Amino acid sequence: MTSFVHSSRSFDAGDRSRLIRLSLKKICWYLALIGLSIPFVFPFIWMLSGSLKTQSEITAFPPKLIPESPAWENYVEIFSYQPFAQQYFNSLYIAAAVTMLILAVASMAGYAFARLKFRGSNFIFVFLLMGLMMPEEVTIIPNFYWMKHLGLVNTHWPLILLPVFGSQGIIATFLMRQFFAALPVELEEAAKLDGLSRFGIFWRIALPLSKPALAAVAIISFLHSWNLLLEPLVFLSDLDKFTVPLALTNFSDAYGLPLWHLQLAATSLSVIPVLLVYIIAQRQIVESFAMSGVKG
Amino acid sequence: MSSTPVVTTPTNRSAHFYESLSGWLFISPLLTGFCLFFVGPLVAIFVYSLTEWNILSQQSSFVGLENYRDILFENPEFWEVLRNSLVFAAGLVPLNVALALVLALALNRAFHGVIVFRTLFFAPVVTAGAAWAIVWTFLLQKESGGINQMLALVGIDGPNWLRQPDWAMVSVIVTRVLKNVGLNMILYLAALQTIPRDYAEAATLDGAGRWHIFRHLTWPMLAPTTLVISIVTVVGSLKVFDHIYLMTGGGPENATLVLAYYIYERAFEFFEVGYASALAVVLFFVTLGLTLAQWLMKKESN
């Protein structure tokens, strides 16, 4: 009611100056935020702008944000320069495989840690925590010779196995465990009385209830795999087996100098689909990362 | 109740056994892979570190603690690398945490477009590190880079960001912070939203200023989050690889050569497997020490 009384009152000079001060404050607030966001946004804009310039245009001074005649041919040339379509497909199917495997392995393990009492679970849990914190660089050397022994170097297997059973799989396990532990236990007890087996309870009761957690795990796992660089660099040597991040480092001329226009076109092509999905589903994606980070 | 006798009827015991068995079955896929690709290699790294690998004969020979002696006393490069890693962490962590807090505080209020700004600040987090590093490498070129071209328009002659030792370190730290700060911002935002608004309102009614409320109310209530964020960011800074590999290659003059990248370089470019493994053992203990410190501090603050 008070607000109604206020707004029905006629404006006097004091109100107007207060209003001006308020909108001035508002403008300053937005200007500050826009200023803060420049270092986060400008690289994307500059990447797109550069990807549409010719090789000579890209180093020209003064710089132009919008090239006079967009060099769309850059986006064609990257596919003939190296097998970029194949590399793109490699990244996609590896990320999909990593995601599926992590969903399966982590939901089962997470359920066990949340609901089942078994000897040694605490000890294993602490060990997994250590695996979660350890940088990949600690175990990458033995893993390389291990994969070599198994004949898996220069295949995609290490790129699938290492994330699933390394820190990413463990993050997913902890996330699932936390989610399962928060589910009401009564439902499962009722199912148990109905004679459902443990796996039946997990599969028919717990898993269908945990879709938000599964979605979060899927999102962070897919992005993790899609973005990997160290593992492809160590394990892959054939161009047509490369993944996108590794391929991006490979657009250079005969002297090893980067061909910026091609590199930026390829980079744009790898970043834009992710950004589009991100913009559409930003709430879900941001929350997924928040869920994976809270347990720290 | 304590006098209730524990009856271990056959059914009770078998139910217990059944639950234990299903527990092990449920974790067995993860555990098998974890042993094969983490625990095994972790043990192997200690064994490797006591050997020297001959690349020509493809044979390794036992050399005892020779590699560690090399690292600690013979090779001054290691101390340089350790120093760089510390400088990197000391620069990155406070900058990341402070910026994350500022952004979270700015976004923790209702105004038009708050979602837009949150989306923008978080966008680099979902972007591949390699892509981010490539674009920034392009931006930071001496002549053709966007940053120096902008500076030139206002008459400033920008430095050669990635080819001057001090600027190279600063560049790698800042671009890495921009890449990841959105994640810590989100964690701070989540924590801020758990602080009841009445607290701040009551304090305002008592005449407390904004800074006062932040200093004596918000900041103390954020302490657990700050602790977790700090340690995770420190450990994360030890993993930095793609930014170093793509932006500086550890140079110039080793100025950005950090431990994780040094391990990669020694093992996979120079094939000094024993030496690199000893370095990996060092990284293992550094990470373990930091993780334990986190655990102890968390325990204490509870």
- Interface pTM, i.e. ipTM: 0.88
| pLDDT higher than threshold 80 for residue A254 | no
A14-66 pLDDT tens trace? 677 777 777 888 899 999 999 999 999 999 999 999 999 988 888 777 778 88
- Which pLDDT value is given to residue A208? 93
Report the candidate in A183, A185, A189 with the shortest Cα–Cα distance to residue A212.
Answer: A183
Nearest to A139 among B41, B178, B183 (CB): B41
Quote the distance between the C-alpha of residue B32 and its chain's center. 26
Instruction: For residue B56, tell me if it sits in a domain.
Output: yes
CB contact under 8 Å between B37 and A165, yes or no, is: yes
Q: Over the Cα atoms of chain B, what is R_g?
A: 25
Which of the following CATH numbers is that of domain A82-250: 3.40.50.1220, 3.40.190.10, 1.10.3720.10, 3.30.505.10? 1.10.3720.10
A225 touches B: beta carbon within 8 Å: no
Q: Which residue in A has a C-alpha nearest to residue B276's C-alpha?
A: A141
Query: In chain A, what residues touch B291 (CB-CB under 8 Å)?
Result: 129-130, 133
- Do residues B113 and B54 share a domain? no
Instruction: For residue B136, tell me if it sits in a domain.
Output: yes
Using pLDDT thresholds of 50, 70 and 90, give the confidence band for residue A8. very low
Alpha-carbon gap, residue A256 to B292, rounded angstroms: 44
Q: What is the mean pLDDT of chain B?
A: 88
Q: Name the residue with higher pLDDT: B301 or B236.
A: B236
Q: Within chain B, where are the H helices?
A: 10-34, 40-48, 66-69, 76-107, 114-126, 129-139, 146-153, 165-192, 197-205, 210-213, 219-238, 242-247, 259-264, 273-301
In the predicted model, what is the mean pLDDT of residues B53-75?
81
- Do residues B171 and B201 share a domain? yes
Phi-psi region of B250 (alpha: psi -120 to 50; beta: other; left: phi over 0): left
The parent domain of residue B45 ranges over: 10-62
* Closest CA–CA distance from residue A290 to any residue of chain B (Å): 6
Query: In chain A, what residues touch B228 (CB-CB under 8 Å)?
Result: 296
Using pLDDT thresholds of 50, 70 and 90, give the confidence band for residue A12. low
Q: Within chain A, where are the H helices?
A: 2-8, 13-51, 73-81, 84-115, 121-133, 136-149, 157-165, 167-182, 185-193, 198-200, 207-209, 211-227, 230-235, 244-248, 260-280, 282-294
Alpha-carbon gap, residue B287 to B236, rounded angstroms: 10
CB contact under 8 Å between B27 and A260, yes or no, is: no
CB contact under 8 Å between A290 and B44, yes or no, is: no
Query: In chain A, what residues touch B283 (CB-CB under 8 Å)?
Result: 135, 137-138
* Closest CA–CA distance from residue A249 to any residue of chain B (Å): 8
**Strand, helix or coil for residue A60:** coil
Q: Name the residue with higher pLDDT: B194 or B133.
A: B133
Q: State the DSSP code for B253.
A: T
Alpha-carbon gap, residue B237 to B231, rounded angstroms: 10
Count chain A–chain B contacts defined by CB atoms under 8 A: 274
| pLDDT higher than threshold 60 for residue A9 | no
Alpha-carbon gap, residue A188 to A198, rounded angstroms: 9
Residues 97..136 of B with a Cβ closer than 8 Å to A: which? Answer: 103, 106, 111, 113, 115, 117-132, 134-136
Identify the CATH number of the domain in which residue B226 sits.
Answer: 1.10.3720.10
B146-196 pLDDT tens trace? 888 888 888 888 899 999 988 999 999 999 999 999 999 999 999 998 888
| pLDDT higher than threshold 80 for residue A233 | yes
Alpha-carbon gap, residue A221 to A103, rounded angstroms: 9
- Do residues B98 and B128 share a domain? yes
In the predicted model, what is the mean pLDDT of residues B223-229?
88
User: How many residues does the structure list for chain A?
Assistant: 296
CB contact under 8 Å between B187 and A290, yes or no, is: yes
Task: Measure Cα distances from A130 to A123, A137, B39, B285 in Å.
Answer: 11, 14, 10, 11
- Which pLDDT value is given to residue B11? 63
Alpha-carbon gap, residue A215 to A234, rounded angstroms: 30
Residues 206..265 of B with a Cβ closer than 8 Å to A: which? Answer: 228-229, 231-232, 235, 238-239, 241-242, 245-246, 259-260, 263-264
The domain boundary residue, chosen from B22, B39, B62: B62
Instruction: For residue B235, tell me if it sits in a domain.
Output: yes
Instruction: For residue B3, tell me if it sits in a domain.
Output: no
- Do residues B176 and B49 share a domain? no
3-state secondary structure B114-180: HHHHHHHHHHHHHCCHHHHHHHHHHHCCCCCCHHHHHHHHCCCCCCCCCCCHHHHHHHHHHHHHHHH
Boundaries of every domain in chain A: 82-250
- Which pLDDT value is given to residue B131? 95
CB contact under 8 Å between B22 and A260, yes or no, is: no
- Do residues B32 and B181 share a domain? no
CB atoms closer than 10 angstroms to residue A192: 14
- Do residues B40 and B140 share a domain? no
Using pLDDT thresholds of 50, 70 and 90, give the confidence band for residue A3. very low
Instruction: For residue B5, tell me if it sits in a domain.
Output: no
- Do residues B28 and B115 share a domain? no
| pLDDT higher than threshold 70 for residue A1 | no
CB atoms closer than 10 angstroms to residue B216: 12
* Closest CA–CA distance from residue A131 to any residue of chain B (Å): 7
Query: In chain A, what residues touch B153 (CB-CB under 8 Å)?
Result: 62
Instruction: For residue B176, tell me if it sits in a domain.
Output: yes
Alpha-carbon gap, residue B272 to A192, rounded angstroms: 57
Give chain B's domain count. Answer: 2
Using pLDDT thresholds of 50, 70 and 90, give the confidence band for residue B235. confident
Quote the distance between the C-alpha of residue A29 and its chain's center. 30
Nearest to B38 among A113, A144, A165 (CB): A165
Question: What is the identity of the amino acid at A31?
Answer: L
B123-126 LR contacts (CB < 8 Å, sep 24+): B123/A40, B123/A41, B123/A44, B123/A275, B123/A278, B123/B182, B124/A40, B124/A43, B124/B178, B124/B179, B124/B180, B124/B182, B125/A289, B125/B179, B125/B180, B125/B182, B125/B183, B126/A223, B126/A274, B126/A275, B126/A278, B126/A285
- Do residues B22 and B122 share a domain? no
- Do residues B136 and B47 share a domain? no
**Which single residue is written with the structure tokens 């009152």?**
A9
Alpha-carbon gap, residue B238 to B88, rounded angstroms: 9
| pLDDT higher than threshold 50 for residue A7 | no
Give phi and psi for B64, each to the nearest 5: 65, -135
* Half-sphere exposure for B142 (CA within 13 Å, toward CB): 6
Give the pair of three-digit tokens for residue A263: 């590199």
